[in-house]
Structure formats: C-alpha cells, structure tokens
Amino acid sequence: MKVVGRTLKMLFLIAGCVALLFLFVASVFLGQIPSDKEIRSCLTTKLYQVKLCPGSSSYVKYSQISQYLVKAVVLTEDSSFWQHNGFDFGELQKSLETNLKKGRYARGGSTITQQLAKNLFLTKEKTMTRKGLEAVITLRLERVLTKKEILERYLNVVQFGKDLYGVKAAAQFYFQKSPSQLDVVESAFLAFLLPSPENYSKSFFRKQLTPFARARLNQIVERLYEYERINGDEYETARAKIAHLWGPPPATIEEDPAVEAIDEERIEQQIQEFGEELEPTTEN
C-alpha cells in the first residue's frame, strides 16, 4: 500500500510539473498572466465583481486584522500556508485519494494563494487552460507578494455570506465590530463560513447554531488550543461562549439545514472529514 502511495505521489508530481511547464508557455503567448503592477494594484475580482484598493476606507491592512482570525483561517483553509510556495502537494495527494475513495468531491486541495488567484484573475470556467492559468498566477503571486500581503488580499476579497465580501464587511455584519476586535469564537465562526458561506451562515440568520456548526466551531477552537495558537484561558472562555452562542441547538440532526445544504452523510462523518483537514502550521 505504501509503495502504491509513493508511486501515485511521484506520478502526480511529474504530471503536475509537465502540465505547469506546458501551460506556462501557452499562457505567456495568450497574454493572460497579470503583471507585477496588476498584482499590486486595486483588487478587482472577476468572480464576484468586487473592487478594493489598498488605502481605501473599505480595505483592511494585515496589521488591522485580529490574529485570532488569521490563525483560524490558516488552520482551516491552508495549514501549510506559511511554508509552501503556492501549492501543497501533500494536501493535493490526500484530496485526490479521499475523493477517489469516496467517489465524490469530499475534500479540496487549493491553498489560500490558489484561492486568491481564482478570486482576482479568473472566472468560474472549468477548463484545463483555466487551471493552468491558476497555477501560473499562483506562482506569480508568491513571487511578487509576501505571505502577509497574500493573506491580507485574500481576507479583503473572500466571500463570507450572500453578497458579503471581505473581512471588514463580515466583522461589521455578523458582530458589529472592526476586524481587529474579533475574539476567538467570532474568528472561528468566520473561518467556519469559508467553505460554503451562504449555507453555513444560516446559523446566524436563525440566531441558533446548528449541531454541525457548533461541532465545527468547537473543533476549530480545540485545534487552535492543541497547536498553541491560543492559551488555556482563551480556550476555556471560547468553549463557554460557543455553548451559549445564539441559544440552544436544534434537538435533532434532521433539523439542521447545514447538513441538508451540503448534501453529505450524517454529521459525525462530516466532522470527521473536516477534522482531517486541520493540521498544525507555523508562521514565519
């Protein structure tokens, strides 16, 4: 089994490198790769038609974002963010193996940098050319920007709910706070929303955490504590807040709209799958 896994990983890496080289050459001739100036200019997302300019009142600098949110987002979305150069090949392999095993799309493998490339420069078109462009733009983002600049831009354009983009709008909408004021639980909630913001935000609108949402929030907080991103007092305070956040949960899993919305099995399996994605990470 180990030999098969190593062989699969090697083939995957070779195929990826060949594809990247081919698509890089093709994309240069197509003239679709953003310049360094475009990468550092105003953020105009092709996916959601959102425009933000560094220095504007709606743009939030990295230093103005709660470190609780930074840690929660990195932990849940891209655990090796501070170490990789745009791609997490180990996570891509795990994603491929999980999806093949389950016969469905159960686990993603995109890094935060890849997600930023999609949001800023690409459409929802699903073609090999688009995937190639995504890969090349990801490499350029990593070359032109620092890790903190990448994360800053990502948090300024990512979706947190229906027609709700960027951490400033999200912090104000959900908690009537600035991004710098977000506590552990509020940060965990915003990180929890990212995979499916319109579905997962139903807890907020109902003012009642679903069993799925409550379990995931607890898991994020537990991992933050386990990997020493928060201390013991912060952990205990966060756990107590989750227990009373927006009232008691629904009595049964069947009443949980988040479970129905993502079309998965029962909540225990969802939480198990989610937990597999949370790994330790170290900031540079």
- pLDDT tens by residue, the chain, 284 residues: 555 555 555 556 556 665 555 555 555 545 567 777 778 777 766 555 566 677 677 899 999 999 999 999 999 999 999 999 988 776 666 656 655 565 554 445 789 999 999 888 776 666 666 677 888 889 999 999 999 999 999 999 999 999 999 999 999 999 999 999 999 999 999 999 999 999 999 889 888 888 889 999 999 999 999 999 999 999 999 999 999 887 765 555 455 544 444 434 444 444 454 445 555 555 65
Q: In this structure, is residue 282 part of a structural domain? A: no
Domain count, the chain: 1
Structural domain range at position 240: 2-276
Q: In this structure, is residue 20 part of a structural domain? A: yes
Rounded Cα–Cα distance for residues 44 and 210 (Å): 34
Q: In this structure, is residue 284 part of a structural domain? A: no
Greatest alpha-carbon pair distance for the chain in Å reads 58
User: What CATH number corresponds to the domain at position 91?
Assistant: 1.10.3810.10
Q: In this structure, is residue 22 part of a structural domain? A: yes
Q: In this structure, is residue 17 part of a structural domain? A: yes
Q: In this structure, is residue 222 part of a structural domain? A: yes
Q: In this structure, is residue 281 part of a structural domain? A: no
